[in-house]
């Protein structure tokens, strides 16, 4: 193996490591953040659809009930997230990896 | 005049009688007419001496007149059953119970009754083609006004919901790493489609109420009824719906001039106070008084209904609806 090949191999490994590092440090947490934000918006959507779950009567729950058959996944994860969520701060804090 | 005519007013003033009389008048003038009642007390049944349900049925003995009665309770149950049907098709068995609880809660909220009524009203307006004129005998003032205020309120609600849903789907699409399938996709999202459908429904309702509907208020010549009518006129105007006319019902008949018993004196006094009230209506209320209907000693039905119909000075010629 001559020098050029070794440099090439080294650069490949380096590139892979760098990409991994970048993904792990920058892009992955960013995706995670976006996903969490998406979940939060979805939670707000479901809450706006079914505030009566918390005893707040809503003029639209009668209509939004029509969405329930299509909200199976959302509904399940909504409930799970609600149980899971101690405080809003905790939820936001989960996004930072120290 | 507009093809849809609503009669409203305080409870017990005789809305059903007036609406049925007007429907009869329209039918006599050759308009295919449907009279729709939302009164769970089934008073249309009493007026025509014939049972009705929530499908239009022709009134015996009167050509071109159909009637139907909407029971809000039944409507709520029907809506619930429809969604349950969808639920059993779409949702896994383990989730059905969970979601069912939520569903029942939604149908137990105070607004469910009004929503159900509203849905049915709009449905009738949407499928009004076989009729030239549809007469709505509405429930007492308060709930009717809330009913008519619904489309505006709901439209903006649905808008906000759609915006939220879009934002979250958009974020989910962006959160999909590399070639991963996003958790939700905008394209063909059934929830958005459903909301869009609802929005179109409210838009139709809003424009039909504004462009194709005329409102009349029935009142009795007493203080309470007058006050409530005044408030109703103001509320309707706030919603950009104008009251076309007022119908004064249950006016006391005046005794013959030569009578002077206790009853005759009582009647004379009442007629006087009522005349004052009518004067107030004429001078202070904006919508014109289109009919003055006297007290009948018997239940208003049959020939008496025809009499009442003659006393109504409301145009019967119907224009076709503009929004179909």
**pLDDT tens for each residue of A37-90:** 888 888 888 888 888 777 777 777 888 888 888 888 888 888 777 777 666 666
Structure confidence by residue, pLDDT tens digits, B207-224: 888 888 888 999 888 888
Q: Which long-range contacts (CB under 8 A, 24 or more apart) does B195-201 make?
A: B195/A67, B195/B158, B195/B161, B195/B162, B195/B165, B196/B162, B198/A63, B198/A66, B198/B154, B198/B158, B199/B155, B199/B158, B199/B159, B199/B162, B201/B122
Give the per-residue pLDDT at B178.
Answer: 67
Decide if B98 and A79 are in contact by the 8 Å CB cutoff.
yes
The Cα angle at residue B129 between residues B126 and B135, in degrees rounded to 5:
75
Contact A57 B109 (CB under 8 A): yes
Question: Residue A60: which of B157, B171, B172 has the nearest Cβ?
Answer: B157
Does A81 lie at the interface with B, CB-CB under 8 angstroms? no
- As for the ipTM of the complex, it is 0.75
- pLDDT at residue A5, rounded to an integer: 93
B262 touches chain A (CB under 8 A): no
Question: A with B: how many residue pairs have Cβ under 8 Å apart?
Answer: 123
Nearest-Cα residue of chain A relative to residue B176: A31
Range B262-285 average pLDDT: 88
Please answer yes or no on whether A58 and B111 come within 8 Å at the CB atom.
yes
Chain B, window 154-213: residues with a beta carbon less than 8 angstroms from a chain A beta carbon = 154, 157-158, 160-161, 164-165, 167-169, 171-172, 174-177, 183, 190-191, 194-195, 198
Tell me what pLDDT residue A95 has: 65
Tell me if A72 and B91 make a contact (CB, 8 A cut-off).
Answer: yes
> Which residues, in sequence order, are CB contacts of B50 under 8 Å at separation 6+?
B57, B59, B60
Residues A9-16 have a mean pLDDT of: 94
- Distance (Å) of CA B125 to CA B194, B197, B207, B209: 21, 17, 11, 9
Other beta carbons within 10 Å of A42: 25
Give the pair of three-digit tokens for residue B99: 């979601």
Quick check: B105 contacting A, CB < 8 Å? yes
Q: How many CA atoms lie within 13 A of B295 on its CB side?
A: 12
CB B208, CB B277: distance < 8 Å = no
A60 contacts in B (CB within 8 Å)?
Answer: 111, 154, 157-158, 161
At B97 the pLDDT is: 82
Nearest to B103 among A28, A34, A68 (CB): A68
A5–B contact, CB cutoff 8 A = no
Contacts of A37 in chain B (CB under 8 A): 171
Structure tokens, B168: 């979250």
- Contact call for residues B313 and B290 (beta carbons, < 8 A): yes
Residue B117 clears pLDDT 80, i.e. is over it: yes
| CA A81/CA A75 separation, integer angstroms | 10
Chain A residue nearest residue B170, CA to CA: A38
Residue B151 has pLDDT above 80, yes or no: yes
What angle in degrees, to the nearest 10, is found between the helix axes of B72-90 and B93-108?
160
pLDDT given at position A86:
63
Domain B4-81+111-150+208-311 part of CATH 3.30.1330.10: no
A82 CA: distance to closest CA in chain B (Å) = 15
Cβ-contact B16, B43 below 8 angstroms: yes
Query: What pLDDT sits at residue B142?
Result: 64
Question: Which residue pairs, CB below 8 angstroms and at least 24 apart, start in B91-100?
Answer: B91/A69, B91/A72, B92/A72, B95/A72, B95/A75, B95/A76, B98/A75, B98/A76, B98/A79, B99/A68, B99/A69, B99/A71, B99/A72, B99/A75
Q: Measuring CA to CA, which residue among B30, B66, B72, B74 is closest to residue B50?
A: B66
Average pLDDT over residues B31-35: 91
The average pLDDT across B37-44 equals 78
- Please give the average per-residue pLDDT across B144-169, as a whole number: 85
B283 contacts chain A (CB < 8 A) = no
- Whether A79 and chain B come into contact, CB under 8 Å, resolves to yes
């Amino acid at each position: 193996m001559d020098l050029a090949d070794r440099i090439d191999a080294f650069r490949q490994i380096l590139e892979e490591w760098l990409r991994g590092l970048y993904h792990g440090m920058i892009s992955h947490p960013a995706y995670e953040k976006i996903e969490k934000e998406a979940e939060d918006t979805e939670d707000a959507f479901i809450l706006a659809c079914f505030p009566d779950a918390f005893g707040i009567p809503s003029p639209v729950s009668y209509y939004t009930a029509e969405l329930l058959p299509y909200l199976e996944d959302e509904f399940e994860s909504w409930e799970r997230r609600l149980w899971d969520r101690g405080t809003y701060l905790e939820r936001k804090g989960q996004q930072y990896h120290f | 005049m507009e093809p849809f005519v609503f009669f409203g007013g305080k409870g017990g003033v005789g809305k059903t009688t007036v609406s049925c009389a007007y429907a009869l008048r329209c039918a006599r003038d050759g308009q295919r007419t449907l009279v729709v009642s939302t009164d769970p007390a089934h008073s249309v049944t009493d007026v025509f001496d014939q049972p009705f349900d929530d499908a239009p049925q022709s009134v015996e003995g009167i050509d071109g007149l159909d009637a139907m009665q909407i029971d809000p309770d039944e409507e709520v149950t029907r809506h619930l059953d429809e969604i349950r049907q969808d639920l059993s098709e779409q949702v896994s068995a383990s989730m059905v119970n969970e979601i069912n609880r939520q569903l029942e809660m939604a149908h137990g909220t105070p607004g469910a009754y009004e929503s159900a009524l509203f849905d049915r009203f709009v449905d009738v307006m949407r499928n009004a083609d076989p009729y030239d004129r549809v007469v709505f005998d509405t429930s007492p003032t308060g709930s009717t006004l809330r009913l008519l205020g619904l489309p505006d309120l709901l439209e903006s609600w649905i808008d906000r919901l759609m915006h939220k849903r879009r934002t979250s789907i958009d974020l989910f699409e962006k959160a999909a790493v590399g070639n991963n399938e996003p958790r939700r996709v905008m394209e063909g999202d059934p929830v958005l489609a459903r909301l869009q459908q609802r929005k179109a429904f409210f838009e139709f309702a809003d424009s039909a109420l504004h462009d194709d509907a005329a409102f009349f208020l029935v009142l009795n010549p007493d203080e309470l009824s007058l006050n409530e009518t005044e408030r109703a006129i103001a509320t309707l105007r706030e919603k950009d719906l104008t009251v076309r006319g007022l119908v004064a019902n249950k006016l006391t008949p005046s005794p013959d001039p030569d009578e002077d018993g206790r009853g005759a004196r009582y009647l004379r006094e009442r007629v006087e106070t009522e005349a004052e009230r009518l004067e107030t209506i004429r001078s202070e209320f904006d919508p014109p008084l289109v009919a003055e209907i006297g007290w009948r000693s018997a239940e208003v039905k049959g020939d008496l209904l025809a009499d009442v119909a003659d006393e109504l000075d409301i145009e019967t010629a119907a224009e076709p609806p503009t929004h179909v």
